[in-house]
Amino acid sequence: MIDFLDLRAVNARYQDEIDAAAQRVLHSGRYILGEELASFEREFAAYIGVDHAVGVANGTDALALTVNALGFAAGDEIIVPGNTYIASVFAVTLNGCTPVLAEPDARTYNIDPRRIEEKITAKTKAIMAVHLYGLPAPMDEVCRIAETHGLKVIEDASHAHGAAFHGRMAGGLSDAAGFSLYPTKNLGALGDGGIITTDDGQLAGKLRALRNYGSEKRFEYTYPGRNTRLDELQAAMLRVKLAHLEEENQRRREIAQFYLYAIKNPSVVLPVVPEGSTHSWHQFVVRCENRNGLREYLEKNGVRTDVHYPVPPHRQPALESLKTASLPVTEKIADEVLSLPINPVLTDGQAREIADRINEWKGSF
């Protein structure tokens, strides 16, 4: 059986470095807000090419804290793509703001810039662009629309560690970006983690306070904050993983290139990479009208796949108020997408096997 993602195998390659980093933290006696976090934040900011990075407990908090720090609250509307992971939407609702779902482009799966302006009202404050599956959203057009209407732009870069748009790294293309560092992401901790990147020093300062009870100075509380910090052990693990991110992304790109060249089945639509975009290939997502049929065939023939995501946010009981939203493109995508294995430990032979199984499938209902 070809696994979808074997995290044990991914991390085992760095066993010695991970052990050494863990020992360093255990013997430091400092477990929260210490040198490992400060170093990881510096290294990650340098990698993305921004002035500031602020580590937090997870990706949902990275986005929710950013919405909070930008000053948005009840009554404010934030535009979010309809086909994103539900956590992007929760980052909005956790602040009492109203998520307004916009349709994606059916070719790129990213927010469709032609479908943003119809969603802008007097209450709109920001656009959250999600670099879905690792392909940068069309940030030139998103930022142009935002500027015209006086809106902030936030990136959900949880799939896009190492992706780039016309030579600029995802995470440095807007007012502020939130990254998840969940174990399955391109840069994954050995537990939960998240980080925010921004060039705005004042915003970064506020975010540092908000993640630590709103405190700028010990026992002095400037904002009604929270406790959402990235701990020293995870920061140390992430420093090890960050040093290998480029080589891992390079391997993902090789596999993606191979799939794009080798998969030839008229029932299977391959992903597109627009000119000027560098994909991080967090997921390699194909489309197929009989998605479930293809998925079952692959499962029976030794290939495990996944679906990102089978039920869109507005169809979830948790977001009852959005259930009347009309999002036909989003719904069609949810019915047809299939994620193939793509990860740094997938071998050439396994990639060949996966392409062969897809090519031999007689796609019909």
Binding site for ligand PLP (CB under 6 A): 58-60, 84-85, 87-88, 130, 156, 158-159, 180, 182, 192, 194
Residue 28: its H or E element: helix 15-28
DSSP-assigned letters across all residues of 159-204: T-TT-EETTEETTSSSSEEEEE--TTSSS--SS--EEEEES-HHHH
Instruction: Assign 340 to helix, strand or coil.
Output: strand
**Cβ distance to ligand PLP smaller for residue 88 or 108:** 88
> CA-CA distance, 304 to 321, in Å (whole number)?
35
**Cβ distance to ligand PLP smaller for residue 5 or 294:** 5
Residue 102 burial (CB count, 10 A): 26
> CA-CA distance, 140 to 167, in Å (whole number)?
13
Q: Report how far apart the first and last C-alpha atoms of the chain are (Å, whole number).
A: 25
Give the nearest distance from C-beta 197 to ligand PLP in angstroms.
15
What type of residue is 300?
Answer: K
> CA-CA distance, 97 to 238, in Å (whole number)?
32
**Cβ distance to ligand PLP smaller for residue 103 or 156:** 156
Give the nearest distance from C-beta 156 to ligand PLP in angstroms.
5
Give the β-pairing of 124-130 and 152-156: parallel
Of 197, 167, 194, nearest to 61 by C-alpha is: 194
Give the nearest distance from C-beta 73 to ligand PLP in angstroms.
21
Give the nearest distance from C-beta 352 to ligand PLP in angstroms.
28
Provide the token pair at 86: 């539900």
Give the nearest distance from C-beta 138 to ligand PLP in angstroms.
17
**Cβ distance to ligand PLP smaller for residue 88 or 212:** 88
DSSP-assigned letters across all residues of 30-80: --SSSHHHHHHHHHHHHHHT-SEEEEES-HHHHHHHHHHHTT--TT-EEEE
Give the nearest distance from C-beta 225 to ligand PLP in angstroms.
18
Burial 105-132 (b: 16+ CB within 10 A, else e): bbebbbbbbebbeeebeeebbbbbbbbb
Provide the token pair at 40: 């990881």
Give the nearest distance from C-beta 26 to ligand PLP in angstroms.
24
**Cβ distance to ligand PLP smaller for residue 111 or 294:** 111
Of 71, 121, 129, nearest to 96 by C-alpha is: 71
**Cβ distance to ligand PLP smaller for residue 88 or 93:** 88
Residue nearest ligand PLP by beta-carbon distance: 59
**Cβ distance to ligand PLP smaller for residue 186 or 277:** 186
**Cβ distance to ligand PLP smaller for residue 44 or 85:** 85
Give the nearest distance from C-beta 93 to ligand PLP in angstroms.
13
What type of residue is 160?
Answer: A
